[in-house]
């Protein structure tokens, strides 16, 4: 079956989730990844959302974490404070993040681009739960497009901690969570070199070259000798995705 890049990314992300893990998730591709995981290898995956919704069973595809559709079948409908307390309490295995800008240590900026904090050229939304998730989840996954203006050498502002300055700097800063584990883009899957914590190429999507990926990245990527190709989605996985997102809200059907 033909598949779109979004579908490839969703399946790649779903494979990062293990059964019975507790996942702090936003809507969009991360939620689709969780639903696919739940329907395949991780039926007991627990999803919870910053809006205070825990373990929902939506009958219609929600368009956001605050969408009422997400309340259907929820085991618990509680508050923002409750779910974020679970995060800091160490109960969350995986957190999903989005990014406006990311650097080579997986640090993320969603506060402003250009100018200064007091006088920004472009003010962005702000941290939201991102900093909390990145600080405390046992590991985080990022899904974002691979563009040079997003993969920056120097962030205008460090909103959300990745591996900070690399090495042991996360631990030294007092952060308990493990930091970013994978970054899944429309070109490749990235991970982090274990000692230096610099961003490294983990897999290339079918048909994508390493030169292309480096060209789209402002900083130097760690490139291993052997780079596997991202697995193609199976027919089952694709049917599942298309069943959940019937109207193609998140996936672009090619």
Partner 1 sequence: MGSVTNKFLTLDKAVSLIKSNSSITFSGFAHSVTPLAFIREMIRQKIKNLHLIGIGEAWAVDMLAGANMLSKVSLSNFMFEGYGRCKNFSRRVENGSIEIEDFSHFAQISRFAASAIGVPFLPIRSLLGTDVESSNHGKTSKIECPFTNETLLAVAAVKPDYAVIHAHRADRNGNVQLFGNSTSIDEQIRGSKTVFVTVEEIVAEEEISKYSEVNTLPAFLVDYVVEVPYGAHPTGMYRYYSEDFDHIDYYMDACKTEEGFNHYLKEFIFDLNNQWDYLQKVGIKKLHQLKADPYLGYQLGNKLVEED
Instruction: Give the interface with partner 1 as residue ranges (CB under 8 A).
Output: 50-53, 59-60, 63-69, 71-72, 74, 77-81, 84-85, 87-88, 107, 110-111, 115, 117-132, 135-136, 157-161, 164, 169-170, 173-176
Q: What is the number of other CB atoms lying within 10 angstroms of the CB of residue 174? A: 7
Nearer to partner 1, 29 or 204 (CB): 29
49 closest CA partner among 72, 29, 77: 77
Nearer to partner 1, 187 or 198 (CB): 198
The pair of three-digit structure tokens given for residue 60, joined into one six-digit string: 């219609």
Of all helices (H) and strands (E), which one includes residue 83? helix 80-88
Nearer to partner 1, 10 or 155 (CB): 155
Nearer to partner 1, 110 or 202 (CB): 110
Tell me the C-alpha distance between 11 and 5, whole Å. 10
DSSP-assigned beta bridge partners for residue 23: 47, 94
Nearer to partner 1, 100 or 201 (CB): 100
Nearest approach, Cβ of 74 to partner 1 (angstroms)?
8
Buried b (16+ CB within 10 A) or exposed e, 6-43: bbbbbbbbbbbbeeebbbbbbbbbbbbbbbbbbbbebe
Tell me the C-alpha distance between 184 and 31, whole Å. 14
Helix (H, G, I), strand (E, B) or coil at 82: helix
Q: Which of 50, 193, 218, 220 is catalytic?
A: 50
Nearest approach, Cβ of 138 to partner 1 (angstroms)?
13
Residue 50 designated active-site: yes
Contact between residue 56 and residue 47 where contact means Cβ atoms under 8 Å apart: yes
Nearest approach, Cβ of 237 to partner 1 (angstroms)?
26
The pair of three-digit structure tokens given for residue 125, joined into one six-digit string: 């939304």
Residues forming the active site? 50
């Amino acid at each position: 079956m033909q598949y779109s890049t979004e579908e490839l990314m969703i399946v790649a992300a779903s494979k990062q989730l293990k059964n019975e893990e507790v996942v702090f998730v936003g809507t969009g591709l991360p939620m689709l990844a969780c639903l696919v995981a739940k329907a395949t290898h991780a039926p007991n995956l627990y999803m919870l959302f910053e809006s205070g919704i825990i373990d929902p069973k939506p009958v219609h595809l929600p368009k956001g974490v605050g969408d009422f559709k997400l309340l259907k079948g929820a085991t618990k409908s509680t508050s923002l404070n409750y779910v974020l307390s679970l995060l800091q309490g160490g109960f969350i295995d995986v957190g999903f993040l989005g990014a406006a800008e990311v650097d080579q240590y997986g640090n993320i900026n969603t506060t402003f681009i250009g100018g200064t904090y007091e006088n920004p050229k472009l003010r962005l939304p702000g941290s939201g739960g991102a900093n909390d998730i990145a600080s405390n989840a046992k590991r985080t996954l990022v899904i974002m497009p691979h563009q040079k203006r997003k993969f920056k050498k120097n962030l205008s502002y460090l909103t959300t901690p990745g591996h900070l300055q690399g090495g042991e700097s996360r631990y030294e800063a007092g952060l308990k969570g493990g930091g970013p584990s994978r970054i899944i883009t429309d070109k490749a899957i990235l991970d982090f070199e274990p000692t230096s914590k610099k961003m490294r190429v983990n897999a290339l999507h079918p048909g994508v070259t390493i030169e292309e990926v480096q060209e789209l990245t402002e900083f130097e990527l760690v490139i291993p000798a052997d780079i596997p190709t991202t697995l193609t989605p199976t027919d089952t996985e694709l049917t599942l995705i298309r069943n959940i997102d019937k109207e193609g809200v998140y996936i672009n059907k090619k």
